Structure 1
Amino acid sequence: MKIKSERDFWSGLMFLVVGIVFAVGATNYSMGTSARPGPGYFPLLLSIILAILGAIVLFKSLTIETEGGDPIGKIAWRPLLITVGSIVLFGVLLPRLGMIITIPILIVAVSFAGDEFKWRGVLIAAVVLTFFSWVIFVWGLKLTIPMWPSFLGS
Structure 2
Amino acid sequence: MRIKSQKDFFSGLMFVMVGAGFAAGATQYSLGSGAKMGPGYFPLVLGVLLAIIGIAVTFTSLVVETEDGDKVGKFAWKPLFFIISANLVFGACIGGLPMIGLKPLGLIVGIYLLTYIASHAGDEHKFKEVAVLATILALLSYVAFIVLLKLQFPVWPAYFTA
TM-score calculated relative to the size of structure 1: 0.86
Which residues of structure 1 form unaligned runs of 5+? none
Task: Mark the structure with the bigger radius of gyration.
Answer: 2
2:87 alignment partner in structure 1: 87
User: What's the CA shift for 1:122?
Assistant: 1.2
Post-superposition CA distance 1:32-76 (Å, at most 9, x none): 555564544443333233222211111101111111211011001
Post-superposition CA distance 1:1-41 (Å, at most 9, x none): 21111010001111111111122223334445555645444
State how far apart, in whole Å, the 2-side matches of 1:5 and 1:139 are.
Answer: 47
Post-superposition CA distance 1:113-154 (Å, at most 9, x none): 001222222112111222222233333333222111122237
Instruction: Give the aligned residue type for 2:69.
Output: G
State how far apart, in whole Å, the 1-side matches of 2:41 and 2:7 are.
Answer: 31
Of the three residues 109, 118, 134, the one matched with 2:126 is 118
State how far apart, in whole Å, the 1-side matches of 2:55 and 2:137 are.
Answer: 33
> 1:105 and 1:49, CA in 2 relative to 1: closer, same or farther beyond 3 A?
same
1:18 aligns with 2:22: no
> 1:118 and 1:39, CA in 2 relative to 1: closer, same or farther beyond 3 A?
farther
1:129 aligns with 2:99: no
State how far apart, in whole Å, the 2-side matches of 1:40 and 1:142 are.
Answer: 25
The aligned runs of 1:24-35 (5 Å cut-off) are 24-31=24-31, 34=34
1:103 aligns with 2:111: yes
> 1:49 and 1:151, CA in 2 relative to 1: closer, same or farther beyond 3 A?
same
State how far apart, in whole Å, the 1-side matches of 2:9 and 2:54 are.
Answer: 9
**CA RMSD, aligned part only?**
2.1
State how far apart, in whole Å, the 2-side matches of 1:152 and 1:49 are.
Answer: 46
2:71 alignment partner in structure 1: 71
The number of aligned residues is 154
2:121 match: secondary structure: coil
1:151 match: secondary structure: helix
> 1:119 and 1:40, CA in 2 relative to 1: closer, same or farther beyond 3 A?
farther
TM-score calculated relative to the size of structure 2: 0.83
1:136 match: secondary structure: helix
Structure 1 residue ranges, 4+ long, deviating more than 6 angstroms after superposition:
none
State how far apart, in whole Å, the 1-side matches of 2:77 and 2:90 are.
Answer: 20
Percentage identity across aligned positions?
48
